[in-house]
Amino acid sequence: MNVLVINAGSSSLKYQLIDTDTDTLYAKGVCERIGGAGSLIEHKQIIKGIKVKKESPMKDHAEAMRLVVEYLVDPEVGCIKSMDEIQAIGHRVVHGGAYFSQSILLNDDVLAKLDKCRDFAPLHTIAHLMGIKGCLETMPGKPQALVFDTAFHQTMAPEAYVYALPYEMYEKYGIRRYGAHGTSHRYVSAEMAKILGKPVEETKIVTCHIGNGSSISAVKGGKVMDTSMGFTPLAGVEMGTRCGDIDPAIVPYMMEKENLTPAQVNDLMNKKSGFLGVSGFSSDSRDLESAIADGPSNPNYERAKLAVDILKHNIKKFIGAYTAVMNGLDAVVFTAGIGENNPHLRELVCEDMEFFGIKFDKAANDAAPHVSENTKISADDSKVAVYVLPTNEELVIAKDTAALVAEL
Nearer to ligand ADP, 85 or 309 (CB): 309
The one-letter amino acid at 203: T
| Residues 325-384 interacting with ligand ADP (rule: CB under 6 A) | 336-338, 341-342, 370
> Helix/strand/coil (H, E, C) string of 125-176?
HHHHHHHHHHHHHHCCCCCEEEEECCHHHHHCCHHHHCCCCCHHHHHHHCCC
Q: Taking contact as CB under 6 A, which single stretch among the options 165-173, 182-190, 205-213, 350-358 is the one that binds ligand ADP?
A: 205-213
* Smallest distance, ligand ADP to C-beta of residue 285, A: 4
Enumerate residues 250-309 that contact ligand ADP by CB under 6 A. Answer: 284-286
Closest distance between ligand ADP and the C-beta of residue 283, in Å?
7
Beta strand 331-335 with 204-210: parallel, antiparallel or unpaired?
Answer: parallel
The answer to whether 240 contacts ligand ADP (rule: CB under 6 A) is: yes
Which of 90, 96, 131, 213 is the binder for ligand ADP (CB under 6 A)?
213
Which residues sit opposite 41 in a β-bridge? 31, 54
Residues with catalytic annotation?
149
Candidate ranges 39-47, 209-217, 264-272, 293-301; the one touching ligand ADP (CB under 6 A): 209-217
Rounded to the nearest angstrom, the gap between the alpha carbon of residue 152 and the centroid of all alpha carbons in its chain is 12
Distance of CA 291 to the CA centre of its chain: 27
Cα separation, 211 vs 393, whole angstroms? 14
Query: For ligand ADP, which is the closer residue by CB, 51 or 286?
Result: 286
Residue least distant from ligand ADP (Cβ): 337
Q: By the 8 A CB rule, do 68 and 135 touch? A: no
Write down the least CB distance from residue 37 to ligand ADP, Å. 24
**Taking the complex as a whole, how short is the minimal distance between the CB of residue 342 and ligand ADP, in angstroms?**
6
Among residues 123 and 157, whose Cβ is nearest to ligand ADP?
123
Residue 288: CB minimum distance to ligand ADP, A: 8
- Angle in degrees, CA 355, 356, 357, rounded to 5: 90
- Nearer CB in complex with ligand ADP: 11/212: 212
Contact (CB, 8 A) for 277 and 241 = yes
Closest CB to ligand ADP among residues 194, 370: 370
Nearer to ligand ADP, 96 or 213 (CB): 213
C-beta of 63 vs 238, nearer to ligand ADP: 238
State the Cα–Cα distance between residues 225 and 179, nearest whole angstrom.
11
Indicate the residue among 69 and 180 with the shorter CB distance to ligand ADP. 180
The count of other CB atoms within 10 Å of the CB of residue 53 is 12
CA 365 to each of CA 190, 207, 211: distance values in angstroms, whole numbers, following the listed order: 22, 17, 18
Figure out which of the listed residues 11, 212, 290, 375 binds ligand ADP, where binding follows CB under 6 A. 212
Phi and psi angles of residue 105, each rounded to the nearest 5 degrees, phi first: -80, 145
Give the H/E segment covering residue 32. strand 24-32
Distances 13 to 129, 185, 207 between C-alpha atoms, Å: 12, 23, 27
In this structure, the number of other CB atoms found within 10 A of the CB of residue 305 comes to 18
Strands (E), 204-358: 204-210, 214-220, 223-227, 331-335
Closest approach, Cβ 241 to ligand ADP, in A, equals 10
Contact (CB, 8 A) for 240 and 274: yes
* Contact characters 84-103, ligand ADP, x per CB under 6 A: --------------------
Quote the least distance from Cβ 240 to ligand ADP, whole Å.
6
Size of the site for ligand ADP (CB under 6 A): 13
Give me the least distance between CB of 30 and ligand ADP, in Å please: 13
Distance CA 7, CA 182 (A): 15
Q: Can you give the binding site for ligand ADP, defined by CB under 6 A? A: 211-213, 240, 284-286, 336-338, 341-342, 370
